[in-house]
Structure 1
Amino acid sequence: MRQELPRGDVPLAEVKRDAQTQQRVPFHDVTTQVVGVRVVIVLVTAQDVADLLDIQVTDQEIACSGSKVEAPVDRIVAMVSVRPVPTSWLAALPAGGRLATTITNTSLILTATKTEDGGAIGRIERDWAMFMPTRAGVDYPPRERTLLERARTEDGEDVDPGRFPVLDVIESREGRSMLELAAPDIEHHHETDGDTRIALMLHTDGSWARAEQAGQAFPVVHQGGPRRLWDLLDEVRDHWLRHGQLPLYGALARVTPDGTIHLRRGTWNAVIG
């Protein structure tokens, strides 16, 4: 039996899992976006696309950013992360249309319903997921390694004992997301040397931090540049200790027509723009 689905996106996993997708959903009713590729249905590589659809995919199409959606669609399920919500997504949805996406460099899943004023109302789901952010070329810009080497080897402008154990921030999904809202685009590294754990934090504004902890001793924290990145992380951990949780998962979300995301939970609020 043919199953009719609303116009919108079919996730990669669904396409691979169900070989009958072509029979279930007309291709002209489906648009899927994955980082770096924009075609009728998109898998991970251009070769996947060619094999599935028997089409030619040009280098220009492979390099195309995956952030633009053309109207009309009833549902948008993004296979990329964004910050803020692209205005083309909001414009493509009718009032009552549904949106699901992840926020760049966080584990936050935003689900929302389009409102009459051109924005959307929803929440941050009580679950987590991460996707790669959109990009404008065939690859992301190369990272500058000089600051990483400085963070590994230099003494900081401030050197202080740490108040908390060294944390692998990348594995602390909600903590990393909370920090990302306070200070977007921090790069994290976690290394071990015997029983010594080392956390590195870098930012393109020149800020850096290194925390080193031997065994169960208190860590030593080195910080340099215009901001104290480890102090920002400590503020997130302070919030968790004071309240017993972080406020992100389950927060109410309001998306304004320009794509800015306003979060609120109790007395806590934040803006993602």
Structure 2
Amino acid sequence: YVLQGTAFQMHAAKEYGTLVRAYEIAGSWVAIDSFADKRPYFFTFLVSLVHDFTGYRLINIFLVNVALTPLFLALVYWLTRTVTGRGPALFAVGLMATLPLLGQNATGAGMELHNLTMIALVAALAVLYLRAPDDDRLVALVLGAVLLSQSRYESVIFVLPTVFVIVLGWLRAGRGLLPWPVVRAPLLLVPYAWHNRVLTATPLHWQLQAGQTSRFSLDYLANNLAGAWAFFFSFTGRLANSWFLSGCGLLGVAWAGVCAWRWSRTAPRLSWSPEVIALTAVATGIVANITLLMFYYW
């Protein structure tokens, strides 16, 4: 409801806010009351653009997620192929497509699939930039990171891995690249800071449970870890999880640890390719994102 209301307000009134009350006055739809939602507004902005082209329809928000699904899977294929090959890339797409949670978001009205697509897009832009650092690729990467920061509350974390990739690109190029769009890009993060300040000053929007007084706390860690384990390895069929993929993920983490240990004992050590560096930086952001969420109220 909130995402739909925000997209409608951006479409009809060209302002950011979630509609609460509106009346038809002399043939015009007049918004009487709205509030600033706690969610970033990039996804609702995309939905409002679809409303602008087709007229307001409830189905539009679902169509946006349907359109994002093949784009996300294509990015998964491309990213996997850059570090492995065609076969593993197809296998990765197949595994991702079997995840019930992906299907739930692909046919739903949430903003999670959009956030995933933006993370994959920024990872792809980071790979392209590190392969051949230049002004155009740097601008694309920076603008992608700015848009990603407006996709979900915690996605601003990915600004830090992006800065790391940018500096590595400078070292590879042997010079600093600072085109004007990159110099001005930090100003594009100011609306995020304003939005977060409004949210911080409005505890009602936090939607805390009884007895909770903070959005982030060490007290939430135990329950969040237990909930995550119950989701990943549930056999009840009542959750949109896949215990098979969770098991494969644990094996993958173990294998990555073995490979890292072997690499550390290799002399001379093999240098990392631009693709591996870029994906490792983004993966670090993902780990930081998940870690932060473990201290968040739910």
Q: TM-score range by the shorter chain?
A: under 0.3
Q: Which of the pair is proportionally richer in helix?
A: 2
Q: Which of the pair is proportionally richer in strand?
A: 1
Higher RCO (CA < 8 A, seq sep 6+): 2
**TM-score scaled to structure 2, two decimals?**
0.22
